[in-house]
Structure formats: C-alpha cells, structure tokens
Structure 1
Amino acid sequence: MSSTASPSSHRAWNVRRPPEADGRVILVTGGNAGIGYFIAEQLSATGAMVVLGSRSPARAEVAMTSIRARIPGARLRSVRLDLADLTSLGAVVESLKVERLDAVVHNAGVALDDPPRRETGAGHEFMFGINHLGHFVLTQWLMPLLSAAPSARVVTMGSFAAKSERLDLDDLQSRRDYRPKRTYGRSKLAQMYFGLELDRRLRAADSTVASVVVHPGGALDSLTPSRPPVHTRTTGERLKAAPAALLVQGKHAGAWSAVRAVLDPAVRGGQLWGPRVFGLRGRPRPEAMWSHLEDRSVAAGLWDASCDLTGADLGII
C-alpha cells in the first residue's frame, strides 16, 4: 500500500462529520474514559457497532449511557478486557460473538506517575505489559476476525511522549533503569514499533488487514469538554487552561487521528497520523515517519522479544 494519503482527501475530511459506517464492527480498548471514550463516541455517530473494551463493566456502562444521551440510537456493547491478564484475552475475543471485526483501536493504557516499579501477574513491568504486550497478544486472537472483514484496520494509539525516547532491547522491562515517565514513553514507543512492524508483515503475507499508527498530540483533561459523569471540567479549569489551547488540545480532538485512521479509505497501512500543528494540536494529517521508528532492526527485535515474553504466535501473519 502507498505510504501517503492524497492532499485532496486531507482537505476534505471533516472531523465533526465523519462518513457513515453502518454495518461495521469496531473494538476500542479503553473505550470507557479519556481519549478512548471520545473515539467511541465519535465512531458511534457514524452508525457503526462500537464495542468498548474495559477492565470495569460498571465504568463501561456509564460511558455507554453518556454516549447514548448524545447520540440516540447509538449501537454499543462492552466486553470486560484486562490487558494485564494475558491468559484471559482469548476468552474476551470469543465473547465478542461476531463473525468479523472491521477495526480495532489499541487505545487502552496506563501511566504510573510515581515509583515504585510494578509488575503484572505474569511478571511483566506494568506499563510495558499492559500498553504493549497486552495489545500484542490481543492482536493474535483478533486476527481471524479482522481477516474475515473486507479491509480491516488495526489502529495503534501511540504518544508524542515516545518521540524523545529510544527502546533498550536489553531492558524492555525496565529492570535496570526504571523511571515512570521514561518507562511510559518507552511502552508507547513499543506500541508504535509494533504497529509498523505488524503492517510490514501483513503486506508480506498479502493480507487484506492494514495497520496504522496514530498519536493524539498534546491532549489535556482541562481542554476536554465535559461528559458527566465520565469527565467533568469546571469553569475554573477551562479558564486556567485557555492559554494552553494555543499549543495543545482536549482529548476529544486527540481522538480525531484514530477515528480518521479507522474510517478514511485514503489512509494506508504503515502510516503515522497525528495533529497537523507541530504534531500537538489540530486536524489529523499523515506525518513524516519519526527517524527512530524507521529502524526495522529494533522493530524486529521487539517483535521477537514480545513473542518470547508472551508465547504469542504472530509468525503466521
């Protein structure tokens, strides 16, 4: 597939009125809060069936109630999804009870603000284990459903925080060098490497599935419109954050790149999409690939290490 989108498609895209997607089935991991909530809300407005993957069924129900209040007739479901529990993911996919999946948005993630280092039940560093390894294994289980769709997409939500980081393939679990912000940035960088390597392997296998990497730019709660009780922004927070709007944006706008990557037929596998203004705010556009993401040896090394750590078999792609 071509790695660039046409300029005319870029100009024509309306972030507030994406095309209809009746009949499509889309899974959004972490769809109950933050950027994931707004991805789910915006996709619901297109008529698609949107499945919210969430660790908390109660929070997923609250999110669905909020979306339905804004979008009457929205087609929504939820599945309990715990990306820290790799052994549960096969059953999660079975619980979808669909014949095909038109897209998955790998959005769910955690960020630890303070030490100490934590591990999942499988012994993986918490952020790397959930943000990257959980989605890596989930993709293995979803691939038959994605392959059953005419032109499915795997959309991986990266982070601008990954732009200044580099992966250490000898310390992926941050055992020697654990700093929360750095480890978070590296976990998101791992996701982005995975999304790009996945597309290369899909193309080599002549698959109909495409993998696209996106990021939200700078997305702040204080610039995000209220969706009570999912998210509430006070007048004071809005006024205080107003100057920041010159550089960054809210999480509703941070969702735009992912929504376009799911729906726009001009988007191609292997692309990186983000906000148009310095990569921090604005409407989505295809970005020049970050130089370190072009290192295929790192991507391949991460892929092999992820297979070893999880036992996942994505070599069949």
Structure 2
Amino acid sequence: MSSASFTPPWNVRRLPRADGSVFLVTGGNAGIGYFVAEQLSATGATVVLGSREPAKADVAMASIRARVAGARVRAVRLDLADLSSLRPVVESLGVDRLDAVVHNAGVALDDPPRRETGDGHELMFGTNHLGHFALTARLMPLLSAAPAARVVTVGSFAAKSERLDLDDLQSGNDYRPKRSYGRSKLAQMYFGFELDRRLRAVGSRVASVVVHPGGALDSLTPSRPPIQVRTAGARLSAAPAALLVQGKHAGAWPAVRAVLDPAVDGGQLWGPRVFGLRGEPRRERVWNHLADVSVAARLWDTSRDLTGVDPGDLPGPSEGHMP
C-alpha cells in the first residue's frame, strides 16, 4: 500500500486539522455539547456555540479558550423551543457556508407535569426533535454552500428500547417523562436517517449522520469549573461504573468523529465501541426499528406540518448543487 493511500487509525486524542471550517454545536455550553465544542476547537476550526442563555455560553467560551490555545469560538443565541426565533439564526452566524451542525441540545424532564413550548408542542418532542428539524431547514442554504457539509444528530441509547406512537407523538394521551424523552430522541434519530435518504435523492453534497454517546455520566466527566465540577468523592463512588459507562468528554467522541472523519458516510450510525456504552467511536449496525422507512416518512410529514418547513425541500443537482 502506498503512503499516499494510507489512512491512519482514528485517534480521539489526535484529531485532524480543520482550519477554515465552521461548525455549529447546539447546546454547546454544557454537557456533551460542551466537550464536542472543546474538542472541535482544537482542530483550528471556527466553532459556534448555539445556546439559549448567553451568559452560560460566555462561560463555556472562556473555558474553551483557557484550554485550547488560539481557539476560534463564538456563540449565537438559539432557542429550539421557539420555532419563530430560528430564522434569524442564519443571519447571526455571519458566514457564507457551514461545514457541519451538531444537533446536540436537548431537554430532559424527570417528573410530571407535561409542559409545552410557546408553540404548543410537548416540550421534549418540540425542542429535541421539532426544533432541530426546523433549524436544519433554516441552515440548509449554508450547509449546501459547503463542499461536503454534515448534519450530525446526537441521539440516545435510551431510544433503543423505545418505539414511536405515531398517533400520539406529543404524549398528549399518555405522558411519562422518561418515555417521552426517549421517544423524542428516537424521533431525532429517525429524522437523521430520513434526511440522508432525501439528500441522496436530490444529489446533495450534504450528508446526515446519526450518533449516540452511550452511557455518559457527570461523575465520570473531567472537571471544567464552573461548567462541570467533579469532586474526589464523586470520582471514587463512580469508579465501578467506569467498567460499563464513561464521562461526557468520551460521550462526545462519536459526534466529533462524525464531523471530522472523511471515512464516515451519510446514513450511518456511530456510537461507543464497548456494548454501545463506552469506549472509542465505531460504526454500528442501524437498529432494526430505525430502518423502518415508513415510520420515518410519516414522522417527517407530521414534523413538516407542525413546523411549516421542510429540510429536504432542496433543488436538484442541476439547480446549484454541482461542484
């Protein structure tokens, strides 16, 4: 094998350069999203944190700059629970192209009662799924302007055991917080796969990849005060769990690889190597229920009707998508 054709193994601690690229990370001010942003910043790319709370975004940017010399990081205000606020996001980015968006932000409620967004949608479904669905539509002109952009949707291992109720997507008839959360993440994952099918159908250069972080615990996550603080007691008590799960810094690895690795293709699922719960990122077989294109198509149509936009409504190759 010639040296020109040799591709080194993926190394989560030695990422390829991405100078000149622009990446948007929703929810990049905390949790897994913060570590996605921190790791991507080390590649020389410009990383934009999408956050509904500017003060928290400022703290996250200061933390990244303290750890990544020369980090090019900034923030835009982004509230996925308010669909009308998403249109101005494109202008606020101030770029002529976007090389990747990581759909990471999410709401997880542990207890009733059921809550709704200002648009009248169940809060988790409306934010985690519908918000990202609509944001993708708004961003598609910028993504289409890049040579080979990627939409990376961060799902959840919790979605593996869930199934969508297409007649009650917003849990109006039977609301259980943990189940509704899992289903909202499952809807996101269906969207990611269906988006790629529709992008391929029109010859778009944009690819859609789905990832999940496995089991990612605060107690196994390195400290990034004041964003993430891990005490010595928490570290010791969590040690046994490290055999099965990992911290949020490692939970970020599949998304980072999906953004950067040229070997990753649209329509793929990536997660942690060990039982899908911990370890370095690897490609997984698409879960059986996620391969149901009829469910994905029905979800897409409902999401389009609820948001009033269609991320797959793109011109064909002869209308501006050819190199």
TM range (shorter): over 0.9
SS in 2 for 1:276: strand
* Greater relative contact order structure (CA < 8 Å, 6+ sep): 1
Does the CA-based 8 Å contact 2:195-2:311 persist in structure 1?
Answer: no
SS in 2 for 1:163: helix
- 1:32 pairs, out of 29, 32, 42, with 29
Does the CA-based 8 Å contact 2:199-2:312 persist in structure 1?
Answer: no
Matching residue of 1:57 = 54
Which amino acid is 1:168 matched to? D
Task: Provide, for residues 183-237 of structure 1, a one-character-per-residue CA deviation record: whole Å limited to 9, x for no partner.
Answer: 0000000000000000000000000000000000000000000000111000000
- Structure 1 segment 64-213 matched on structure 2, within 5 A: 64-213=61-210
Quote how far apart the aligned CAs of 1:155 are. 0.1
Matching residue of 1:5 = none
Matching residue of 1:263 = 260
Quote how far apart the aligned CAs of 1:313 are. 2.7
> Structure 2: where are the runs of 5+ without partners?
315-323
User: 4+ residue runs of structure 1 moved beyond 3 angstroms?
Assistant: 8-11
Matching residue of 1:248 = 245
SS in 1 for 2:161: coil
Does the CA-based 8 Å contact 1:10-1:285 persist in structure 2?
Answer: no
Matching residue of 1:41 = 38
What TM-score does the superposition give when structure 1 sets the normalisation length? 0.96
Does the CA-based 8 Å contact 1:101-1:148 persist in structure 2?
Answer: yes
Which amino acid is 1:28 matched to? V
What TM-score does the superposition give when structure 2 sets the normalisation length? 0.95
SS in 2 for 1:78: strand
Task: Provide, for residues 110-142 of structure 1, a one-character-per-residue CA deviation record: whole Å limited to 9, x for no partner.
Answer: 100110000000100000000000000000000
Determine the C-alpha separation between the residues in 2 that align with 1:298 and 1:68: 43
> Structure 1: where are the runs of 5+ without partners?
1-7
Change in Cα spacing, 1:10 to 1:277, as seen in structure 2 (3 Å) is farther
Quote how far apart the aligned CAs of 1:247 are. 0.1
Quote how far apart the aligned CAs of 1:177 are. 1.2
Task: Provide, for residues 230-278 of structure 1, a one-character-per-residue CA deviation record: whole Å limited to 9, x for no partner.
Answer: 1100000000000000000000000000000000000000000000100
Does the CA-based 8 Å contact 1:110-1:127 persist in structure 2?
Answer: yes
Quote how far apart the aligned CAs of 1:314 are. 3.0
Quote how far apart the aligned CAs of 1:315 are. 4.5
Q: Percent identity?
A: 81
